[in-house]
Every structure is written in structure tokens, then in C-alpha cells.
């Protein structure tokens, strides 16, 4: 039996069917074409509450907050690679992504060695995409994941008004192709 490696994508836009989702699906499709199994989790369809630092997970107990976080973290633990895609909000990740990052305290040590990649979509070409990718990568590094350097992408220009403006961003989409290629390489090592 041949085991197919799995790439999980997390979309942190609260807008369904918008630019960040498009960029993530574009990247996942590249990986699918290369033979990987892919899945996208849309935070626009989930509820992830804030970590309130109650300390239960640090004592080895279950997180008492009942929402979608546990289900998302189970998927992360089953994946070989994780791509986190966020819109640029005030030169930072969306609150949806930050909430998920903070709640991942409950799975510390469980993402070690997984391959990670970042995608950021802003309205401006230099609107803070690098800073968002850096935030995502820092979260991945804290979990001791293996990172695809941000110089390979994916950084794109979306729009506040148009849901699929990113379709016209050839440079950005090309950076997603590079990201997919580098993720595939890292998985095949």
C-alpha cells in the first residue's frame, strides 16, 4: 500500500470565497497535481475562541473551551505539511489566525518536524505580507516545524472590494507555485 502524504491548508479570512481562500486553494491544487492529498479548513466556517490562559492544558488536562479548535488540531496532527494563509490586517495576521495560534498551546510538541508554509494576502503590494508570513513562520518555528523560507512565497495582492482580485496577480500566484514546489521538495526529502 502506498501512503499518500497529506497537506492541510488553514484559511484565516473571515470572508468566504475571497482572495486568501483562492490563494490557498490555488497552492493546494498545485500540490494535488503533484500527487499529494490536500484539504482546506476555512476559519470562516469555524468557531475558535480566545485562549484565556486557564492553564488546564499545561496540567495535561483537556482544554475546557468547546469549539472547533480541537477538530482543527486533530487534522494538523494527521497532516505531513501545514500551510497557513492569512489576510493582512493592520500589518498582522487576522484575529481568527491569532486565536488559533494561541489555542495551539494545547498541542505543543505535536507538530514537531512537520513541513510548514505561509501565505499572506494584502490589498497593497507591500502592505505587510512579509510581516504576516514572518508571524506565521514564527508560530511554526515555535512548534519546531520545518519551514519553507518566505522568499519562495506566497505573497499576494487581493482587494478589500473584490473577492477574487488575486486571480489577476500573476506575480503572487507564481509565488504560490514556488511555495507548493518547495513544500513538495521538503516532503520528499
Ligand X SMILES: Cc1cc2nc3c(=O)[nH]c(=O)nc-3n(C[C@H](O)[C@H](O)[C@H](O)COP(=O)(O)O)c2cc1C
CA distances from 53 to 96, 165, 180 (A): 17, 39, 35
| Contacting residue, 76, 158, 169, 173, with ligand X by CB under 6 A | 158
Q: Contact at 8 Å (CB) between 160 and 122? A: no
First to last CA, the chain: 20
Residue 86 main-chain phi, psi, to 5 deg: -135, 145
175 binds ligand X (CB under 6 A): no
28 binds ligand X (CB under 6 A): no
123 binds ligand X (CB under 6 A): yes
26 binds ligand X (CB under 6 A): no
Cβ-based nearer residue to ligand X, 90 or 188: 90
| Contacting residue, 122, 153, 154, 172, with ligand X by CB under 6 A | 122
Q: How many chain residues are in contact with ligand X, going by CB under 6 A?
A: 19
| Contacting residue, 8, 9, 10, 19, with ligand X by CB under 6 A | 19
Cell of 20: 486568501
Q: Which residue is nearest to ligand X (CB)?
A: 127
178 binds ligand X (CB under 6 A): no
124 binds ligand X (CB under 6 A): yes
CA distances from 51 to 54, 140, 183 (A): 8, 18, 30
13 binds ligand X (CB under 6 A): yes
Give, as ranges, the residues between 48 and 87 that touch ligand X (CB under 6 A).
Answer: 87
Q: Give the helix/strand (H/E) hosting 25.
A: helix 19-33
In whole angstroms, give the CA distance from residue 54 to residue 162: 40
Cell of 96: 481568527
* Residues at the contact surface with ligand X, assessed by CB under 6 A: 13, 15, 18-20, 87-91, 121-124, 127-128, 158-160
Amino acid at each position: 500500500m502506498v501512503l499518500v502524504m497529506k497537506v492541510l491548508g488553514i484559511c484565516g479570512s473571515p470572508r468566504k470565497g475571497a482572495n486568501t481562500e483562492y490563494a490557498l486553494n490555488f497552492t493546494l491544487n498545485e500540490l494535488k497535481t503533484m500527487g499529494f492529498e490536500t484539504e482546506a479548513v476555512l476559519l470562516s466556517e469555524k468557531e475558535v475562541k480566545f485562549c484565556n490562559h486557564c492553564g488546564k492544558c499545561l496540567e495535561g488536562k483537556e482544554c475546557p473551551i468547546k469549539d472547533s479548535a480541537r477538530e482543527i488540531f486533530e487534522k494538523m496532527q494527521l497532516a505531513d505539511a501545514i500551510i497557513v494563509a492569512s489576510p493582512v490586517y493592520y500589518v498582522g495576521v487576522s484575529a481568527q489566525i491569532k486565536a488559533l495560534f494561541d489555542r495551539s498551546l494545547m498541542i505543543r510538541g505535536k507538530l514537531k518536524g512537520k513541513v510548514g508554509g505561509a501565505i499572506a494576502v494584502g490589498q497593497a503590494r507591500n502592505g505587510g505580507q512579509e510581516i504576516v508570513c514572518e508571524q506565521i513562520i514564527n508560530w511554526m518555528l515555535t512548534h519546531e516545524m520545518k519551514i519553507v523560507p518566505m522568499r519562495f512565497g506566497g505573497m499576494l495582492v487581493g482587494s478589500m472590494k473584490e473577492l477574487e482580485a488575486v486571480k489577476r496577480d500573476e506575480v503572487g500566484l507564481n509565488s504560490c507555485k514556488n511555495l507548493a514546489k518547495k513544500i513538495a521538495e521538503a516532503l520528499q526529502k
